[in-house]
Amino acid sequence: MSGHPIHPTRIIPAGAPPAPPVPPAHFGPPAPRPPDPGPLDIHVTVVLPGAEPEPTPSWWQRLHIRWVYNAGCLVVALPLSQPWRTALIHVRDEQSLIGAWTLAMVPLIVAGMLDNARRIEAAGAHPDLWRPKIRAALTRTALWALVIATVTALPVETITYLLTGVRP
């Protein structure tokens, strides 16, 4: 209150929108706009007092290794593997070693994929349904029979052939 009069810098008529302010004079182009931040990934863990977190399953449960189930399938597969082993030995002796490996690998790959599908089907089925579990066990048994027949018929001769170049 120094006694100086106040002079308006602009006069805005009633009802007219105010004009936007004049940007300050810059030398050069305007500064680039910073990039938009990406989506945020926020994880929230709520721990209630007195509530304990669920225990984690043991390592053998996390790996889904079922020893008794696989051992049972293996025992049943042992006698079932003999006809396939005989067929592989016959192809190996009469045709070629590569032909025997090809004949062994195609059913192994198909059975492995089918075993995986049946296992997932059984795991997702209702606990009271037995048919998916039986199909999964039969497929696992067939896979074990193919593996046993292949392992007992081909690797020894393949290693001998690769090391010596002579067919035993």
Please check the confidence at residue 24 and state whether its pLDDT lies above 70.
Answer: no
Q: How far is CA 87 from the centre of its chain?
A: 35
Res. 25: pLDDT tops 80? no
Residue 133 CB: number of other CB atoms within 10 A?
17
> What integer pLDDT is reported at residue 165 of this predicted model?
76
CA-based radius of gyration for the chain: 38
Please check the confidence at residue 138 and state whether its pLDDT lies above 80. yes
- How much is the average pLDDT of 90-106? 90
* SS (HEC) of the chain: CCCCCCCCCCCCCCCCCCCCCCCCCCCCCCCCCCCCCCCCCCCCCCCCCCCCCCCCCCHHHHCCCCHHHHHHHHHHHHHHHHHHHHHHHHHHHHCCHHHHHHHHHHHHHHHHHHHHHHHHHHHHCCCCCCHHHHHHHHHHHHHHHHHHHHHHHCHHHHHHHHHHCCCC
When mean pLDDT is compared over 55-59, 95-99, 163-167, the highest value belongs to: 95-99
Q: What's the rounded mean pLDDT across residues 105-126?
A: 94
pLDDT of residue 28: 67
pTM value?
0.58
**Per-residue pLDDT at 162:** 78
Percent of the chain predicted with pLDDT > 70: 77
Domain positions in the chain: 77-164
Residue type present at position 118: R
In angstroms, the CA 150 to CA 86 distance is 10
Q: What is the pLDDT of residues 33-75, one digit of tens each?
A: 888 877 878 888 877 777 676 777 766 666 666 788 888 999 9
Average pLDDT over residues 128-140: 93
> Is residue 92 scored above 90 in pLDDT?
no
Percent of the chain with pLDDT over 90: 38
5 or 110: which leads in pLDDT = 110
Which pLDDT score is estimated for 11? 67
